[in-house]
Amino acid sequence: MQLISLSAFDLSVASLLIIALALLSFRLKLGLTQRILVAGLRTTIQLLLIGFILNALFARVHLLWMALIAIIMFTVAGREVMVRQKRRFIGWYGFAIGTLSMFLSSFTITVLALTVIIQIKPWYEPQYAIPLLGMLLGNTMNGVSIGLDRLSSSTFNDRTVIEARLMLGQTWAEAMREIIKDSIAGGLIPIINSMMVVGLVSLPGMMTGQILSGSSPMEAVKYQILIMFLIAGGTGFGTVAAVWMGSRRLFDDRHRLRLDRLRKG
């Protein structure tokens, strides 16, 4: 199957959809016109930049360069998790909780997939390592941000109930049990919904890209199954870790609720 290259003109035609959407937002007074245009511009710049970087990495594979790329990805993802919180944690915890939880889940699962499942050598081969880490990190970031946002909002809204339970002798974990469960469930809903309809309602981007590039549909399907399972694991473990660390941060050593550790919404 022949791979059809896209020209700058082809991409410009596609960009008209973004411009049309921005105009529609302006006409309907949605307040999203600038955000749509900025998002489209950022998408173009960021993807072109990563394209140049990947070309350089593919030409010269080195663990240090891979480590640098991974650090940048985790840093940006950690910041995104922090800014998406309506009531985020004050100080470095707002950045550290999301970043650490994503590192523990996404990085670990990516290395597991590269060394045990795919068995590529070297295991940090950019052609495999960067796309895998990027997909896991992006989806885990969404789950972690949703889980933490629900955790902080629910804790603030139910603060009187939580404090009443603490006064009755419950530990912080007992008083927060239902909120923790709901927060974790909220973070997992998007990936569960995706897994329920994949192949029937939607064809994921990786699978579509492989098919368009000429790969066998069955080979693309097998890789997509692998990716979905890796994403589900990364999102699940990352959300659990983030919600647990966030919950613990909301209480001191004497099991007192510390809402002063959250920014005002």
Q: How confident is the model at residue 102 (pLDDT cuts 50, 70, 90)?
A: very high
Q: What is the mean predicted confidence (pLDDT) over 116-143?
A: 88
Residues 139 and 46 in one domain: no
Give phi and psi for 259, each to the nearest 5: -75, -10
pTM of the model: 0.82
- The Cβ of residue 1 has, within 10 Å, a number of other Cβ atoms equal to 9
- Report yes or no: 81 and 144 within 8 Å, Cβ to Cβ: yes
Residues 233 and 254 in one domain: yes
Q: What is the mean predicted confidence (pLDDT) over 93-119?
A: 91
Provide the sign of the torsion angle of the four alpha carbons 220, 42, 142, 123, taken in this order.
positive
Among the candidates 35, 60, 85, a domain finishes at 60
Q: What is the pLDDT of residue 156?
A: 93
Residues 53 and 102 in one domain: no
Buried b (16+ CB within 10 A) or exposed e, 204-213: bebbeebbee
Residues 112 and 168 in one domain: yes
The whole-chain average pLDDT of the chain stands at 88
Only one residue has tokens 């933490």, namely 148
Q: Among candidates 11, 37, 16, which has minimal Cα distance to 26?
A: 37
Is residue 192 pLDDT above 60, yes or no?
yes
Query: What residues make up the domain containing 175?
Result: 62-261
Residues 46 and 70 in one domain: no
pLDDT digits (tens, 9 = 90+) for 48-91: 988 888 888 777 778 888 888 889 999 999 998 988 888 888 88
Measuring CA to CA, how many Å separate 93 from each of 138, 159, 250, 262? 20, 20, 11, 10
**Domain count within the chain:** 2
Q: What is the mean predicted confidence (pLDDT) over 22-47?
A: 92
Residues 154 and 140 in one domain: yes
pLDDT digits (tens, 9 = 90+) for 136-171: 998 899 999 999 999 999 999 999 999 999 999 999
Q: Which residues pair with 89 in a beta bridge?
A: 262
Buried b (16+ CB within 10 A) or exposed e, 97-131: bbbbbbbbbbbebbeebbeeebeeeebbbbeebbe
Is residue 220 pLDDT above 70, yes or no?
yes
Is residue 236 pLDDT above 60, yes or no?
yes
Q: Of residues 20 and 220, which shows the higher confidence score?
A: 20
Q: What is the pLDDT of residue 126?
A: 84
Q: How confident is the model at residue 203 (pLDDT cuts 50, 70, 90)?
A: low
Residues 158 and 218 in one domain: yes
Is residue 3 pLDDT above 80, yes or no?
no
Q: What is the pLDDT of residue 172?
A: 93
Residues 47 and 79 in one domain: no
Is residue 4 pLDDT above 80, yes or no?
no
Residues 242 and 141 in one domain: yes
Q: What is the mean predicted confidence (pLDDT) over 182-189?
A: 94
Q: What is the mean predicted confidence (pLDDT) over 202-231?
A: 78
Q: What is the pLDDT of residue 1?
A: 53
